[in-house]
Amino acid sequence: MFRNQYDTDVTTWSPAGRLFQVEYAMEAVKQGSAAIGLRSKTHVVLGCVNKANSELSSHQKKIFKVDDHIGVAIAGLTADGRVLSRYMRNECINYSFTYESPLPVGRLVVQLADKAQVCTQRSWKRPYGVGLLVAGLDESGAHLYYNCPSGNYFEYQAFAIGSRSQAAKTYLERRFENFTDSSRDDLVKDAITAIRETLQGEALKSSICTIAVVGVGEPFHVLDQGTVQQIIDTFEIAAEQEDPATEPDAATGQEAATEQGTAADQGGSTDEGAAPMDI
């Protein structure tokens, strides 16, 4: 893990052709709390585990609305994530202003990647220590991208980043083939289940996770805690009907009858005072 000789500068190659500073930055992503994303043909769902510094503090915000059609979940240095979200928001606003149409997700992601790359080739800079799961909708459909500190980006059907994300990835790998035709609600349930995987035993409550959805006819918004708790409760009901301590995905498979979640999570509160941008 300690490759001391060539790792001081981001502009120093190792003999093996690696940039250790960039790899260390990716390590920072792995240390952050988990974030997952999955998409169907028409919707993309982001989820993250809420980590608080201490019992006294509030948890860090890891999901950001970038525009009505794009949102991002981050893992790693939250401050870097905040700055990049601000950049993304600006880009979306400027593009909308000039072209009177929403910025295609693929373009935004490339701009973000290029911005990250710059930091890997300047001696006076350091790479961003944050991985971003960019969820968005554009004319070519629903998209989920992962942006690395290295400046690489990849499109995914489903992905998980951060600590203990391997458990979520295993779950997603098993189920991803079904996601394309999943309904919105099933997608949300899968997201919550994937998050539960990363918790590894810890109780799943709505206070411990944040879920956000974007889809056709549904601007990006974070689901409120009540809605999420209702969906979690439907898991519990289904799980009680089986042996306790069975695999979680068997429980989610039984949920044909439990559609109460549907009406409740119409997303976005309709309260008079709540703003559409309320995240």
Partner 1 sequence: MTKQQANWSPYDNNGGSCVAIAGADYCVIAADTRMSTGYNILTRDYSKICKLADKCVMASSGFQADVRALQKQLAARHLIYQHQHNKQMSCPAMAQLLSNTLYYKRFFPYYSFNVLGGLDNEGKGCVFTYDAVGSYEKVGYSSQGSGSTLIMPFLDNQLKSPSPLLLPAQDAVTPLVEAEAIDLVKTVFASASERDIYTVRRQTRTCYHKCSWYPPGIHGT
What are the residues binding partner 1 (CB under 8 A)? 65, 86, 89-90, 93-94, 96-97, 275-279
Q: Which is nearer to partner 1, 94 or 183 (CB)?
A: 94
Q: Which is nearer to partner 1, 96 or 229 (CB)?
A: 96
Shortest reach from residue 274's CB to partner 1, in Å = 8
Whole-number Å distance between alpha carbons of 56 and 54: 5
How large is the angle between the packed helices 184-199 and 225-240, nearest 10 degrees? Answer: 80
Q: Which is nearer to partner 1, 96 or 254 (CB)?
A: 96
Q: Which of 197, 199, 159 is nearest to 179 (CA)?
A: 159
Helix (H, G, I), strand (E, B) or coil at 83: helix
Q: Which is nearer to partner 1, 99 or 124 (CB)?
A: 99
| DSSP class of 177 | G
Q: Which is nearer to partner 1, 87 or 156 (CB)?
A: 87
φ and ψ at residue 62, rounded to 5 degrees? -115, -5
Shortest reach from residue 97's CB to partner 1, in Å = 5
Q: Which is nearer to partner 1, 66 or 119 (CB)?
A: 66
Whole-number Å distance between alpha carbons of 37 and 195: 10
Whole-number Å distance between alpha carbons of 86 and 74: 13
Shortest reach from residue 59's CB to partner 1, in Å = 16
Shortest reach from residue 212's CB to partner 1, in Å = 14
Shortest reach from residue 93's CB to partner 1, in Å = 5
Per the document, the length of the chain is: 279
Shortest reach from residue 275's CB to partner 1, in Å = 4
φ and ψ at residue 90, rounded to 5 degrees? -60, -45
Whole-number Å distance between alpha carbons of 17 and 195: 36
Q: Are 198 and 34 in contact (CB under 8 A)?
A: yes
